[in-house]
């Protein structure tokens, strides 16, 4: 009898192991129901959001405020630190049709690719009430050929030049922000010429004039309506004089040893800010928060902001609503609220993200904004003026982000690896062919 029982046990073990093996397979097959995480339950509406970087909605308590005003709404926001990681995940989720949130953030460099290839997966936000207050070019960046709007604008990145007053002074340059702006008024090449003066007269030999040549490159190309692509979506970077000029001037700055050979937002740049290894950096509005945080309290009042030679836009983002979302209507309301003028002005005040709403640009909270850290610079006026100079049409391309990265690396080849500008251009050109062709 005992033997029989033992046999039974064996059989049971075998059955369990076989079943669990099968279970594994089945478990892998049906992983998702295709939802977006949100839904309605017991009168409560749950809205999920996928965000990246510092968009500010969660960080400044805007989401909490919305939930307080709408007691039946629960918002769950996931914030990824790195946009590259975020976008890769978003692409995978879009391709698989699962794992998406109700609301997804869209970085400007990805806007064209998403509106070209994924527009069916987004809700058309064209007719949403109270969303006619954006800068005209902002809205056009996420409008598809058939007039569908896949996202509403959050911030934009009008540019200025952030500089160190103390370092300018010991190099015998003016320190007042209006006089500094006059040094390079209207022409980026005057900015580089000022750098040569700085280098000649500077008494601190370890201080470079600017952090990296790629910042200058970005500022120059983003001041034009066409950059790497034309309106038909064809690559024109090879012949576009805008790109050629920017490359020429940026590589001139690099070969003249005016840069600290750093890469923005990469290791070395933050300690460079804290330890004052460079005197200027081309700064979009959203960069001010980063500079003041990393340069720290000991450099407060040493930094100032001057008008850039020409207005340009670097960066910005959008919020889109997924078509599959079960709470489409509520998500649209939330997106409209988050991108409304009042909220944009609030975000500018709190973390410096500059409004993409035309109405917000007239609000006193924006116009009269001053920065304590940057020697009380009237950043509201400076960046508003820069925003007005941004061309009304901004042509985006599918691989803008990637191409920008490749050019930055091309400039690093000149700066840090002693390649000639021609050689670096050839290398960059080949890389773009492979990445975007």
Partner 1 sequence: MAISTSTPPDGAPGIGAERQRRRTLLHRLDVRGAPYAFVAPFFVVFAAFSFYPLIYTSWISLHRVELSTLNLMEWVAFDNYTALWDDDRFWNALFNTFTIGVLSTVPQLLMALGLAHLLNYRLRGSTFFRVAALTPYATSVGAAALVFTMLFERDFGMINWMLSLFGVDNIDWENNKWAAQTAISSIVIWRWTGYNALLYLAAMQAIPRDRYEAAAIDGASRWQQFLKVTVPGIRSTIVFTIVLSTIGATQLFGEPLIFGQGPNGITGGADNQYQTLGLLLYEEGWKNYQMGRAATVAWAMFLVLILVFVVQRIVKRVLARRA
Catalog residues that contact partner 1 under the rule CB under 8 A: 3-4, 6-7, 9-11, 13-15, 17-18, 20-22, 24-25, 28, 84, 88, 91-92, 94-96, 113, 117-118, 261, 263, 265-268, 271-272, 275, 277, 402, 405, 408-410, 412-413, 416-417, 419, 427, 434-435
Closest separation in Å from C-beta 434 to partner 1 = 7
Closest separation in Å from C-beta 319 to partner 1 = 19
Q: Kindly tell me the burial class for residue 437, based on how many C-beta atoms sit within 10 Å of its own C-beta (0-12, 13-18, 19 or more).
A: exposed
Q: What share of the chain is helix, strand, coil (3-state, %, to 5)?
A: 50, 15, 35
Closest separation in Å from C-beta 168 to partner 1 = 21
Alpha-carbon separation of residue 182 from 49, 81, 167, 302 (angstroms): 44, 38, 18, 20
Angle between helices 400-417 and 241-255 (to 10 degrees): 30
The nearer residue to partner 1, 201 or 266, going by C-beta atoms, is: 266
The nearer residue to partner 1, 380 or 410, going by C-beta atoms, is: 410
Closest separation in Å from C-beta 113 to partner 1 = 7
The nearer residue to partner 1, 86 or 191, going by C-beta atoms, is: 86
The nearer residue to partner 1, 177 or 399, going by C-beta atoms, is: 399
Q: Which residues pair with 104 in a beta bridge?
A: 50, 320
The nearer residue to partner 1, 144 or 427, going by C-beta atoms, is: 427
Map residue 380 onto helix, strand or coil: helix
Distance CA 399, CA 404 (A): 9
Map residue 186 onto helix, strand or coil: coil
Write out the H or E segment, with its range, that includes residue 422: helix 421-436
Per-position DSSP letters for 196-228, written without gaps between them: HHHHHH-S-TT-EEES-HHHHHHHHHTTSS-SS
The nearer residue to partner 1, 113 or 400, going by C-beta atoms, is: 113
Candidates 157, 105, 70; CA nearest to 335 is: 105
Closest separation in Å from C-beta 352 to partner 1 = 22
Q: How many CB atoms lie within 10 A of CB 46?
A: 17
Closest separation in Å from C-beta 56 to partner 1 = 22
Closest separation in Å from C-beta 48 to partner 1 = 21
The nearer residue to partner 1, 195 or 410, going by C-beta atoms, is: 410
Distance CA 434, CA 437 (A): 6
The nearer residue to partner 1, 114 or 377, going by C-beta atoms, is: 114
Alpha-carbon separation of residue 384 from 49, 177, 184, 191, 363 (angstroms): 29, 16, 19, 21, 11
Contact, 289 vs 350, CB < 8 A? no
Closest separation in Å from C-beta 267 to partner 1 = 6
Closest separation in Å from C-beta 206 to partner 1 = 9
The nearer residue to partner 1, 390 or 396, going by C-beta atoms, is: 396
Distance CA 403, CA 434 (A): 11
């Amino acid at each position: 009898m005992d033997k029989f029982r033992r046999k039974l046990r064996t059989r049971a073990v075998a059955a369990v192991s076989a079943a669990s093996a099968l279970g594994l397979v089945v478990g892998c097959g049906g992983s998702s129901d295709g939802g977006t995480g949100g839904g309605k339950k017991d009168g409560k509406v749950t809205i999920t959001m996928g965000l990246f970087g510092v968009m500010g909605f969660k960080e400044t308590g805007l989401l909490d405020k919305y939930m307080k005003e709408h007691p039946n709404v629960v918002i769950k926001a996931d914030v990824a630190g790195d946009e590259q990681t975020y976008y890769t995940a978003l692409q995978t989720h879009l391709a698989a049709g699962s794992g998406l949130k109700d609301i997804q953030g869209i970085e400007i460099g990805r806007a064209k690719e998403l509106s070209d290839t994924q527009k069916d997966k987004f809700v058309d936000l064209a007719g949403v009430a109270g969303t006619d207050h954006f800068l005209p070019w902002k809205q056009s960046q996420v409008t598809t050929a058939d007039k569908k709007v896949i996202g509403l604008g959050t911030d934009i990145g009008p540019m200025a030049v952030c500089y160190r007053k103390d370092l300018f002074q010991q190099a015998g340059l003016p320190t007042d922000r209006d006089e500094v702006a006059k040094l390079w008024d209207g022409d980026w090449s005057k900015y580089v010429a000022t750098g040569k003066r700085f280098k000649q007269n500077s008494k601190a030999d370890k201080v470079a004039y600017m952090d990296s040549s790629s910042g200058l490159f970005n500022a120059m190309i983003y001041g034009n309506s066409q950059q790497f692509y034309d309106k038909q979506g064809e690559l024109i970077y090879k012949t576009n004089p805008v790109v050629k000029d920017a490359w020429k001037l940026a590589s001139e700055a690099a070969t003249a040893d005016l840069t600290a050979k750093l890469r923005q937002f990469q290791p070395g740049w933050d300690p460079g800010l804290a330890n004052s290894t460079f005197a200027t950096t081309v700064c979009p509005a959203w960069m001010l928060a980063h500079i003041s945080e990393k340069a720290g309290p000991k450099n407060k009042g040493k930094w100032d902001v001057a008008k850039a030679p020409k207005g340009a836009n670097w960066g910005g983002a959008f919020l889109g609503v997924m078509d599959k979302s079960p709470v489409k209507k509520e998500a649209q309301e939330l997106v409209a609220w988050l991108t409304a003028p009042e909220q944009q002005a609030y975000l500018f005040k709190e973390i410096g993200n500059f409004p993409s709403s035309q109405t917000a640009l007239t609000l006193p909270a924006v116009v009269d904004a001053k920065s304590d850290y940057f020697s009380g610079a009237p950043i509201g006026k400076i960046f508003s003026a820069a925003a007005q100079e941004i061309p009304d049409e901004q042509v985006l391309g599918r691989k803008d982000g990637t191409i920008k990265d490749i050019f930055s690396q091309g400039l690093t080849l000149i700066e840090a690896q002693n390649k000639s500008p021609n050689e670096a251009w050839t290398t960059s050109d080949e890389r773009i062919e492979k990445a975007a062709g």
